[in-house]
Amino acid sequence: MPRVPAPSPEHRFSFGLWTVGNPGRDPFGGPTRPVRSPADIVRLLGGTGAWGVNFHDNDLVPIDATAAEEKRILADFRRALRETGLVVPMATTNLAFDPAFRDGAFTNPDSRIRAYALQKSMRAIDLGVSVGAKIYVFWGGREGSDTDAGKDLLGALKRYRDALNFLCGYVRDRKYDLKFALEAKPNEPRADIYLPTTGAMLAFIQTLDHPEMVGLNPEVAHEQMAGLNVTHALAQAWDAGKLFHVDLNDQAPGRYDQDFRFGAHNLKSAFFIVKFLEEVGYEGPRHFDAHAYRTSDEGDVKAFARGCMRTYLILKEKAEAFRKDREIQGLLAEIGAEFRSMRPFQGGYAPAKAKALRRHAFDRAALGRRGFPYERLDQLVVELLAGVR
Ligand code: GCO
Ligand code: MN
Ligand code: MN
């Protein structure tokens, strides 16, 4: 069993103020842990090997803070960053919590609320950039519907597009070194959230004025809530050059939004996620958008944060073991074997190629007899993960 390295800044692990700082509130009960100040949360992360801390504007500065309060909070926060060496890779706007956003922010039918959402986002972008954020996430949790009875769906998409175009313009105008990452989620808190999957977001990005500034922040739980395969979503985002950020956590399909510790529910799926990110050479933040169980005390919250990172690193070792395993590689070679006789038909279209392919005689029955050793391969993966290989 190879030694698992301790988490360190080079691994680019990040957490949100709202995740490790979550006092254990849920829809059925109040907090079970004390509320910590942002600087305190940074210090809590400081000793764990984490690299970054992310925030929503109001995780750092309460929505009703005075200018003097804001100044003091920011000074404390900056001091904690200096003390711990943590950086702020990503920031975002809270456009979900305040009652003003009950029917969405950028897509709200009320033009005053849409304008307020833009103002709040511009200020939050300034705040994020002022502490070094290079990625700005948009998760439109309230952009959606509980009933479509009163919804102008095409109008909502247009407003969404207008808002992102406006904010891209703002970032360009200010010459900020900042990219946007859109985060899809199918439902919760709305019955149906607009642009519910990574693929839907990807198509939407192409309709924006500055698609090159805008990428994706796929989240494990959000894909799994919908019964989808998150590694497939990551692959599509990567293939499009749009994997700007990733929210790692875990989730059983068909449940409420669980936000479990990375790898807590589906270790095999977590393995394929890590294997994919490491194999393609993803260099962005590995952000854990996960929450400790409500039953945790503060010590257990630390164990939760360490657990997210440690599981990632264990699975990274396992991905390396997969790559070096001769039996596994032998099966992969068998599965992907090239047939020399098919070479003339590969690559793009050419009229002569098409002509030859039309004439070629295939032995369909023989093709139908070909098996693929996925049972053997999958069992080897299971044994690798179970530590008996
Ligand atoms: C959720 C989301 C959020 C976002 C966050 C950053 O399900 O509540 O995952 O945690 O990631 O708002 O944009
Ligand atoms: Mn989520
Ligand atoms: Mn998220």
Dump pLDDT digits (tens) for 131-155: 999 999 999 999 999 999 999 999 9
Residues in the chain, pLDDT under 50: none
247 Cβ closer than 6 Å to some ligand 1 atom: yes
Q: Which residues pair with 16 in a beta bridge?
A: 54
pLDDT the model gives residue 3: 80
Q: In the annotation, is 265 catalytic?
A: no
219 Cβ closer than 6 Å to some ligand 1 atom: yes
Atom of ligand 1 nearest to the CA of 138: 13
171 Cβ closer than 6 Å to some ligand 1 atom: no
Q: In the annotation, is 259 catalytic?
A: no
d(CA 113, CA 105): 6
d(CA 365, CA 196): 42
Give the end-to-end CA distance of the chain in Å, rounded to a whole number.
Answer: 9
d(CA 162, CA 85): 38
Domain boundaries, given as residue ranges, for the chain: 9-324, 326-386
d(CA 242, CA 341): 36
Q: Before 109, cis peptide (omega within 30)?
A: no
pLDDT the model gives residue 2: 57
CB 202, CB 242: distance < 8 Å: yes
pLDDT the model gives residue 159: 98
Work out whether strand 214-216 and strand 246-248 pair parallel, antiparallel, or are unpaired.
unpaired
Percent of the chain that is helix, strand, coil (3-state, to 5): 50, 10, 40
Structure tokens at 133: 């954020």
Report the percent of the chain where pLDDT is more than 70.
Answer: 99
Q: Please tell me whether residue 74 adopts helix, strand or coil conformation.
A: helix
CATH code of the domain occupying 9-324: 3.20.20.150
Q: What angle do CA 274, 313, 13 make, to 5 degrees?
A: 85
Q: Nearest to residue 49, comparing CAs of 300, 282, 313?
A: 313
Q: Nearest to residue 166, comparing CAs of 138, 208, 129?
A: 208
CB 48, CB 7: distance < 8 Å: yes
Residues 11, 26, 40, 56: which is the catalytic one? 56
Report CA(334)–ligand 3 centroid distance (Å). 39
